[in-house]
Amino acid sequence: VDGTGQFCSVQGALDAVSARNASATTITIENGTYFEIIHAASKNNVTLRGRDRKQTIILGVNNDALNPGTATRSLVGIDNSSGFVVENLTIHNLTPQGGTQAEALRMQSCDQCVVRHADIISLQDTLLWSGRIYANDCYIEGNVDFVWGTGAAFFENCEIKTVGRAGYVVQARNTAGKSGYVFVDSKITAGPGITGIVLGRIDVSVYPASHVAYINCQMGSHIAPAGWTITGGAASANLRFLEYKSTDLSGAPLDVTRRIVYGR
């Protein structure tokens, strides 16, 4: 942003990468706050790397009221790309509570993509990920279905935090036979005074094969005893809402005897 680099915006640097790029390309973002909406498509083998996770910040407002539709309402959106990496930065959609769906990071038709060492912040619909995506050492903040999409996403050593109000963590819209959203060795936390959080929900009349799993995760007391919720009818045999060896935030085994069980 101070003019010392090759580009003065992240969008400008991405635009300079040719479509269907074949070679590994790294865009280094120097420390600073970048007020912009970023959308890119067909950018393969690109790494978007901040200089410092807390000091390299992509910031702005975008949402469904301003730009209706999932393809246009995110702050950062990556489409139809493979091998795309986002790391070592913060992405923060400033849309306020009640400001409609406002993804901070949307990755659709993103194959073998990676998000690591990153803070991703919004309120409603923080992440929309579809394809095959791996997340490691990420902090993700929101409150209404703020992790959602149709693809397979694997989260490892991440913190998923509900802020502002009670809500739902995950809505996985995968089809039958396809993997959904899996969280391993992660923390599911909440802001002060927030209770009754649902780990995952889905309308089974539309997405009867939703798949969400929490494995070896720490969870705060804010999680509702039932854990999960469905609408639209009875659960099908293909619905998989799964939990294995959950603990409280101190590492003690969690009482899950009141959980609703969907799938094996």
The residues assigned a catalytic role are 125, 145
| Residue labelled with tokens 């509702």 | 224
Measured CA to CA, the distance from residue 53 to residue 60 in angstroms comes to 17
3-state secondary structure 159-185: EEEECCCCCEEEEECCCCCCCCEEEEC
- Tokens read off for 70: 């999932």
Residue 131's nearest CA partner among 56, 59, 189, 181 is 181
- Spacing of C-alpha 101 from chain mean position: 13
Measured CA to CA, the distance from residue 240 to residue 237 in angstroms comes to 8
Q: Where are the alpha helices (DSSP H) in 180-239?
A: none
* First-last CA distance in the chain: 51
